Amino acid sequence: MLKVPYTTGYLSEHFADDEYATLAGYERRGGYRALKQVLAEVAPADVIELVKASGLQGRGGAGFSTGLKWSFMPKDGGKPKYLVCNADESEPGSFKDRILMERGPHQLLEGILIAAWATGAEKTFVYVRGEYREPADRVERAVAELYEKGYLGPKVMKKAFRHDVVVQRGAGAYICGEETGLLESLEGKKGQPRKKPPFPAQHGAFGMPTTVNNVETFCHVPHIVLRGAEWFRGIGTEKSPGSTIFGVSGQVQRPGLFELPLGTRLDEIVFEHAGGPLPGRKVKGVIPGGMSMPILPAHQLDVPMANEFLRERKTMLGTGGIMVMDDTTCMVRASCVISWFFRDESCGQCTQCREGTGWMHKIIERIERGAGQPDDLAILLDVAAKMEGQTICAFSDAAAWPVQGMLRHFREDFERHVALGHCPFGECFEL
Amino acid sequence: MVISPATRARIDAEIAKYPKPRGALLPALHLVHADHGHVSPETARELAEIFAIAPVDVLEVVSFYNMFFDRPQPRHHAYVCTNLPCSLRGARALLRRLEEHLGVHAGEPTPDGRLVLGHEECLGACGYAPMMRVDGDYHEDLDFERARRILDALE
Amino acid sequence: MPKISVDDRVLEVPEGMTILQALDAAGLLMNGVDVPHYCWHPKLSIDGSCRLCQVEIEGMPKLQIACNTLVQDGMVVRTTTERVTKAREGVMELLLVNHPLDCPICDQAGECKLQDYAYEYGALESRTREPRRALKKRVDLGPTIVFDQERCILCRRCVRFCREVPGTGELGVVNRGDRSVIETFPGTQLENDYSMNVADICPVGALTTKDFRFKIRVWFLEDVPGICTGCANGCNVHLGVANNRVYRYVPRRNDAVNQTWICDEGRLSYKEIEAGRLRAASVRGERGAVEVSVEAALAEAAARLRGVLESRGPGAVGVLASPHATNEDLAVLRRLADALGVETRGVAVPVGRADQLLIKAEKAANAEGARRLGFGPAAAVLDRVRQGAVLALLVLGHDALDSGDLASPAELAGLAALVVLDTHQSPLHLVAHVAVPTRVAAEKHGTLTNAAGLVQAVQPAVEPAFEAWSEAEALWRLGVLLGLEGFAGRFDPGAFAAAAS
């Protein structure tokens, strides 16, 4: 299997070149021209306007307008300001940030430096999930190269602009991908998300104004600077411009990464780019955006991969982690795996999440064992409803959505378990 | 002192990077794990002292994260991802065969203290499933033979 | 000041308060406006994790937690809507999923917020079929507290308390998700001067005190408001009374005196109401002390005092007040001394350790009251005894021994008349000619003045099981027996107060 994306674009077109991960290799390909341009001729406020005009949305799953987020940082010079690069990528099905760090660390750092210039941030903490040792090593090497060349430090590129980058490694907790959970972990505590308000732009890392952005979000920025907002808007859809790197996994012929414009149809990605189902099998369901997003059945894959369309189908783009399940897969068993994940990763603060993730998993596991009762499904949906919209962070919602999606489209799998008293899918993977 | 002077110096270097010292706690814990594989109560007390927090605060952090341990560990860790995309590509069957091969259940160390085989959640290698993380290294696109050879090579 | 409306009731609220704080400050919280809550506590940092205090706020699509939402002028809050009701039901159901069915053996029953809120706001039936998680049920957390991990609802009040109030931070929440559990660091205990407060603030029976464990069901207890008499802080308490016994103290909220706290030593001082009491009056004869009635003892006391007064005059008489007696007791003592013409008067105050929180150095509840009634340092009195100038001493309590003003009772052995009115047994009585049992604060009406000069009232919660008079009654009778002007009949607190003012 190729590690570089099967289809590339402006983000990944040079990933096959091993030198691209070095400063020299990156500059040879035109890297750091955007930063030079910005430092020479674009005022910080204008950079923010540019990014706003481009319509770039965060690529970490929430899809918030990046330019708008940057504009929340205070303009005055009172307190030190920080950027945080959320490299905690832990959403099952997502593996795009990993390759962006492994093969394009300087693209990421250039985006960070442009963001720093725009927001007045003096330091960036790159928080990389602990298990991503190689990607974190490569980012650290790239950072060292930048210090050596004077692209980081007290006078970036000899301008009156100082910036430092610190790479911190996480230690294995999905919830540290949540913005404020990350900040808590960065500060040396348990990664338990914070109550909001206050929001990070007022009270973020170490109490200072902070902007948190996903790895991929930063990576788009140098391209937007070099080619303009119009160019960026020309890719993707009207409401969701630009490209993203989709990750396709599961029961397909060609799992891997695919850089494609937002709005590319899901069935095109699954059947054409990823080669469709394995021989002799049919697609049964596809989770479009990482495991938190509700599943779509096979007959609903004709949907452009962009939030404005996915929302109509009661699901979302998330992190573009596309997981394909074929007709050998038992959706109850899949739900066991999914609900166990959420039970294991709940930080445990909020009542609904802590108890609800546990309860849902126990019910689903009991149904899979063949001890399900008819009213268990109604209880599951009721518990899911009680977990939505009422907690400190969206993890509780993310735990509820997959269950709702499964029962919306694959209720029959559950009902058969209850009626039969055992799992009817003999060919499915064993738990 | 459990924490060696060299490691203490590295911890101090990390502390210098942060506006508040406690920001370096996770880096310090990684350094301690690199030396000893776990955080003993004594080490936790030393860290509590360095970071001016209560020992129970250190314990909270150690217990929260999958990569930190509060008791001695086998020499090697091998984790097979058994999340959904990997399960769809045979990860659980692979794990089962490896369990049989080693004569252990996932999560139990081998009797000689050499190795523990376990489950892990998504490691960001979904397109290259099944896979495992052995002593921090990723081994992807596995079949049983390759996986077996990797584990057998661990001393 | 911002104006908000809560269930159509308009409140003016100081800037910077949350909705819960505003309701609490207005005295409405759970007392007119119901916003049930677990993790919030008026004296601890905001946690926001229990999610029970969610309310509806006009203009905000999601329910908001009242504990963390700052009031804004014009805010319209609703606590009784369908959405709020369903949200509360949801939280209650989820909390009960793993909670053990311990009520029949749990000390908290009857004052348990899980019981109360499940009844008020929860669904009628349980739908869970899953086995509850099994954890440790009798963790010996330290010298004073037992911890049941299964009952814990992870409101984290105890963790925040230990970090924020005594500052000792012994507790933490380890693991994550539904494996979260509260623990101390291995080899450490929950051990600080205020440890037992965690049992008060724990909404359920997860943290209970060893002292109260299995003693009595709380619904048998009557809560009588009172004051702790352990030191000069005068922490407000409720005495838990049943069967004419005090089973415990729990702190009573008074933001000016003790917030919602009490120190462990003060909390346990309820035991002194019963333990070591002087239970009978006695008169010393040739063959030692003989038990007599209080009346008889007072008659003997009067005779002895009269003896010294007549032979040497009032200058040979001294009085030592007690810093434990009430202002009313001490006012009668002053009146008696005035009527006798006795100027040698003082009070001995035992002192000990103090801290930055509640614990005061003076280990009595009315030292300040005694001083304000004209009783100066005891040394002045005792020096005159040592010089042989004072031959008769009327003493309340035995504080001079506790304070060290007296090295030993032997120092008073040469007195011609030593009359002691005391609540508790003491070696001092061995050299007294007359000893008369008196009442403690929990057995009478009266006031006590704390270190800050605040005058607080006590009332009788129990009756002594033996004959004991208040100091005021006993001293008044003494005055009558001595034939002093102004002393007649029985002590009448009302008339006395009127006359005194």
Best A2, A12, A95 member to test B by mutation, with max B CBs in 10 Å, is A95
What CATH number has the domain bearing residue B32?
1.10.10
- The CATH T-level fold of domain A18-233 is Rossmann fold (3.40.50)
Q: Which of B19, B27, B82 has its CB closest to that of A206?
A: B19
| Minimal Cβ distance to B41: which of C170, C173, C186 | C186
Count of domains forming chain B = 2
Looking at chain C, the whole-number percentage of residues with pLDDT higher than 90 is 95
**Assigned fold of C281-500:** Rossmann fold (3.40.50)
- 3-class secondary structure per residue, C355-366: CCCCCCCECCCC
Q: Radius of gyration (Cα) for chain B, nearest Å?
A: 18
B84 and B115 share one domain: yes
User: Which residues contact residue C248 at a Cβ distance below 8 angstroms, ignoring those fewer than 6 apart?
Assistant: C209, C211, C212, C215, C221, C239, C240, C267, C270
Q: Which residues pair with C18 in a beta bridge?
A: C70
Q: Is B2 on the interface with C (CB under 8 A)?
A: no
Per CB-CB distance under 8 Å, the chain C contacts of B57 are 169, 172
Chain B nearest C-alpha distance from C157 (Å): 16
Q: Is the pLDDT of residue C69 over 90?
A: yes
Cα–Cα distance, A244 to A235 (Å, whole number):
10
Instruction: Tell me the two tokens of residue A297.
Output: 């059945």
Tell me how long chain C is: 501
pLDDT of residue B91: 98
Q: Tens place of pLDDT for every residue, chain A, 431 residues?
A: 358 999 999 999 999 999 999 999 999 999 999 999 999 999 999 999 999 999 999 999 999 999 999 999 999 878 999 999 999 999 999 999 999 999 999 999 999 999 999 999 999 999 999 999 999 999 999 999 999 999 999 999 999 999 999 999 999 999 999 999 999 999 999 999 999 999 999 999 999 999 999 999 999 999 999 999 999 999 999 999 999 999 999 999 999 999 999 999 999 999 999 999 999 999 999 999 999 999 999 999 999 999 999 999 999 999 999 999 999 999 999 999 999 999 999 999 999 999 999 999 999 999 999 999 999 999 999 999 999 999 999 999 999 999 999 999 999 999 999 999 999 999 999 99
Q: Which residue has the tokens 């860290």?
A: B47
B81 and B59 in a single domain? The answer is: no
B87 in the same domain as B33: no
Per the structure, the complete domain to which residue B141 belongs is given by 76-152
Backbone angles phi, psi at A33, to 5 degrees: -70, -40
Cα–Cα separations (whole angstroms), residue C250 to A264, B152, C195 = 67, 63, 13
* pLDDT average, residue stretch C37-60: 97
Q: Say whether B56 and C175 touch across the interface (CB within 8 A).
A: no
Predicted structure pTM score? 0.95
- Residue C500's pLDDT band, with cuts at 50, 70 and 90, is low
Chain centre distance of CA A303: 20
Residue A285 Cα to chain centre, angstroms? 21
CATH fold of the domain at A243-326 = Ubiquitin-like (UB roll) (3.10.20)
pLDDT confidence band for C312 (50 / 70 / 90): very high
DSSP C128: -
Interface residue of B47, B126, B133, B142 to substitute, partner A, most A CBs within 10 Å: B126
pLDDT of residue C429: 95
Nearest to C97 among A173, A359, A366 (CB): A359
Measure CA of the first residue to CA of the last residue in chain B; give whole Å: 29
d(CA C233, CA C250): 15
- pLDDT above 60: residue C219: yes
**Residue A334 is encoded by which pair of tokens?**
């899949």
Among candidates C283, C356, C368, C358, which has minimal Cα distance to C325?
Answer: C368
- Alpha-carbon gap, residue C379 to C400, rounded angstroms: 9
Mean of pLDDT values over C213-235:
97
CB contact C381 to A (< 8 Å): no
Name every residue whose Cβ is closer than 8 Å to that of residue A382 and which is 6 or more positions away in sequence: none
* Nearest residue of chain C to residue B45 (CA atoms): C185
Instruction: Tell which phi-psi region holds residue C303, choosing left (phi > 0), alpha (psi between -120 and 50) or beta.
Output: alpha
Asked whether the beta carbons of residue A351 and residue C49 sit closer than 8 angstroms, the reply is: yes
Separation CA C113–CA C449 (nearest Å):
34
Closest among B89, B99, B102, B97 to B154, alpha carbons compared:
B102
pLDDT of res. B55: 97
Tokens of C69: 């939402």
Q: Which of A402, A417, A329, A428 is nearest to A367 (CA)?
A: A417
Q: Which residues of C touch B68 (CB under 8 A)?
A: none
Report how far residue B55's alpha carbon sits from residue C369's, in angstroms, rounded to the nearest whole number.
44
* Residue B154: band (very low, low, confident or very high) from pLDDT cuts 50, 70, 90: very high
User: 């307008």: which residue's tokens?
Assistant: A65
| Domain ranges within chain A, ordered by starting residue | 18-233, 243-326, 331-420
CA distance C488 to C479: 8
Strand partners, A332: none
> What residues of B are in contact with residue A86 (Cβ under 8 Å)?
none
- The pLDDT assigned to A370 comes to 95
How far is residue A18's CA from residue A167's CA, in Å, rounded to a whole number? 22
Q: Which of C372, C369, C332 is nearest to C496 (CA)?
A: C332
Provide the phi-psi class of B135: left if phi over 0, else alpha when psi is between -120 and 50, else beta: left
What mean pLDDT, rounded, does chain C reach? Answer: 96
3-state secondary structure C371-394: HHCCCEEHHHHHHHHHCCCCCEEE
Distance of alpha carbon B61 from alpha carbon A173, whole angstroms: 11
Q: Cis omega before residue A198 (within 30°)?
A: yes
Q: Which residue in this structure is represented by tokens 């003790």?
A: C258
Cis omega (within 30 of 0) for bond into A277: no
Q: pLDDT at position C499, please? A: 66
Q: Cα–Cα distances in Å, from C469 out to A336, C328, C473, C474, C492?
A: 73, 13, 6, 6, 13
Q: Does any CB of chain C come closer than 8 Å to the CB of residue B60?
A: yes
Percent of chain B with pLDDT over 70: 100
Q: Which of residues 111-170 of C touch A (CB under 8 A)?
A: 127-130, 133, 153-154
Domain boundaries, chain C: 3-94, 281-500
Residue A327: list chain B partners with CB under 8 A: none
Cβ–Cβ < 8 Å for C241, C461? yes
Alpha carbon distance C346, C357 (integer Å): 29
A347 shares contact with chain C (CB less than 8 Å): yes
Residue B55 sits in the same domain as residue B9: yes
Q: Is the dihedral of CA A163, A166, A172, A176 positive or negative?
A: negative
Residues B80 and B123 in one domain: yes
Q: Specify the length of chain A in residues.
A: 431
User: Residue C73 pLDDT more than 60?
Assistant: yes
Based on the fold, state whether residues B82 and B112 are members of the same structural domain: yes
What's residue C501's pLDDT? Answer: 55
Residue pair A157/A151 in contact by the 8 Å Cβ criterion: yes
CB distance from B122 to chain A under 8 Å? yes
Angle at C411 between CA C406 and CA C413, to 5 degrees: 135
Closest CA of chain C from B65, distance in Å: 8
| Tokens representing residue C150 in the block | 């299964």
Mean pLDDT of chain B: 97
DSSP C246-298: EEEEEE--BTTTTBT---HHHHHGGGGGTTTB--SEEEEETTEEEEE-HHHHH
CA distance C93 to chain B (A): 26
Which chain A residues are within 8 Å of C48, Cβ to Cβ? 195, 392
CATH architecture of C3-94: Roll (3.10)
pLDDT tens per residue, range B76-131: 999 999 999 999 999 999 999 999 999 999 999 999 999 999 999 999 999 999 99
Percent of chain C with pLDDT strictly greater than 70: 99
Indicate the pLDDT class of residue B1, thresholds 50, 70 and 90: confident
* Statement: A331-420 belongs to CATH 3.40.50.300: no
Query: Secondary structure of C153-205 in the HEC alphabet?
Result: CCCCHHHHHHHHCCCCCCEEEECCHHHCEEEECCCCCCCCCCCCHHHHHCCCC
* A358–chain C nearest CA distance, Å: 6
Tell whether B135 is within 8 A of chain A (Cβ): no
Mean pLDDT within C8-14: 94
Residues B123 and B145 placed together within one structural domain of the fold: yes
pLDDT at A1: 39
